Amino acid sequence: MEFPIFKTKIKEVTGNFNLMSLEGRQAYFEAKAGKEIKKLRDYLKENTFIVYLLGKKNSGKGTYSKMFAEIVAPEKIEHFSIGDMVREVAKALKNKKRKKEIISSLEKQYRGWFPLKKAISILEKWRVDTLLPNELILALIKREIEKRKKKALFIDGFPRNLDQISYSLFFRDLIGYREDPDIFVLIDVPEKVIDERIKWRRVCPLCQTSRNLKLLPTSKIGYDQNQKEFYLICDNPNCKGAKMVPKEGDELGIKPIRERLKLDEKLIEKSFSLYGIPKILLRNSIPVELAKKYIDQYEITPEYGYRWDPKIKKVKIIEKPWIVLDDDGVPSYSLLPPPVVVSMLKQMVEVLHLT
């Protein structure tokens, strides 16, 4: 299975764009995919679609789909995570009134090999590693989609196992999207990228905002002279300069989720081999030796390093293009989200036959 390199470099588009700001991204997308954005906006006036996002954990599924919605039509497109959905329903079941409403809804939707009462019992005891019946997941998704009426949807986390791929193929017929296309978006990200995203992740203990010391710092960097280490200071003014900290276990990177990553890869391969459903292939990395031909410099993910200057008692930030080894051991640049989304915009126009 090979993900092609997508060219975002356009001869007529010159200058740089600040992809870290909303205004910069809007100008960038208009310059690089303005025609495609207009076609998609026109399409969404009368039509919808369902996208199943398939990628390894921390591959950027939510980031890419939310940015797609942000730039095309946020009022017409919604992203929802199956994991978040299950977590919210499990929590709601602890409230008697909400539990009654959920059971009433599931009684209309649920069809399965477990009695609904048993399925609810499993859900009430849910933990992250709990395996829920496929039929229950399906009923919960149908319930979730009913809330969103006729909107284009990016579904993150379904299918989650090999059996659920079969469910996804017939899913739109079951929920009344008979005339709307469903699409697989497959995302390829080197494991080294995922590993670094986890290892350098930092979270504010007050507002839970997540950033990355190496890849996505805040505007203020602190330095602990006793520990000889740099740290991020939360940008949220309500947090009053709170020190951002690693989550427990993040220092292990992908080690605790290696089996999950293997399963994710099997899911992508299985989905890739299916006929009859359009596929959009997104690639996060590009070999260094090919980058100049295919992308612009500002589309590369920067890597941040830090140096303490004792004379002025300030942290100096060192920025350079981030080079990682892809899964074949090839030195590659990791791309920022916007160029990956440009690829999604253009491929979406093709699979929806809007060209």
pLDDT confidence of residue 319 = 95
pLDDT confidence of residue 322 = 96
Interior CA angle at 237 toward 235 and 242, to 5°?
A: 65
The span from the CA of 66 to the CA of 123, in Å, is 28
Note whether 184 and 172 are within 8 A (CB).
no
Phi-psi region of 208 (alpha: psi -120 to 50; beta: other; left: phi over 0): left
pLDDT confidence of residue 337 = 95
Query: What is the secondary structure of 119-163 as a DSSP string?
Result: HHHHHHT--TT----HHHHHHHHHHHHHHT-S-EEEEES-S-SHH
Element (H, E) at 103: helix 96-109
- Percent over 70 (pLDDT), the chain: 97
pTM, two decimals, is 0.89
What's the token pair of residue 77? Answer: 């497109």
Determine phi and psi for 54, rounding to 5 degrees.
-125, 120
Determine phi and psi for 281, rounding to 5 degrees.
-110, 120
pLDDT confidence of residue 129 = 67
Residues of the chain with pLDDT under 50: none
Q: Which long-range contacts (CB under 8 A, 24 or more apart) does 292-298 make?
A: 293/7, 293/9, 294/5, 294/6, 294/7, 294/8, 294/9, 295/7, 295/8, 295/9, 295/333, 295/335, 295/339, 296/8, 296/9, 296/13, 296/16, 297/16, 297/321, 298/16, 298/17, 298/18, 298/19
Distances from the Cα of 266 to the Cα of 21, 42, 162, 173, angstroms: 36, 36, 8, 25
pLDDT confidence of residue 93 = 87
DSSP 238: G
* Longest alpha-carbon distance in the chain: 70
Instruction: Quote the crossing angle between the two packed helices 61-72 and 337-351, to the nearest 10°.
Output: 70
Q: What is the pLDDT of residues 94-153, one digit of tens each?
A: 888 888 888 888 888 788 788 888 888 888 887 766 678 888 888 888 888 877 778 899
Q: What is the pLDDT of residues 170-192, one digit of tens each?
A: 676 666 665 778 899 999 999 99
Among candidate residues 141, 209, 216, the one with its CA nearest the CA of residue 174? 141
pLDDT confidence of residue 176 = 67
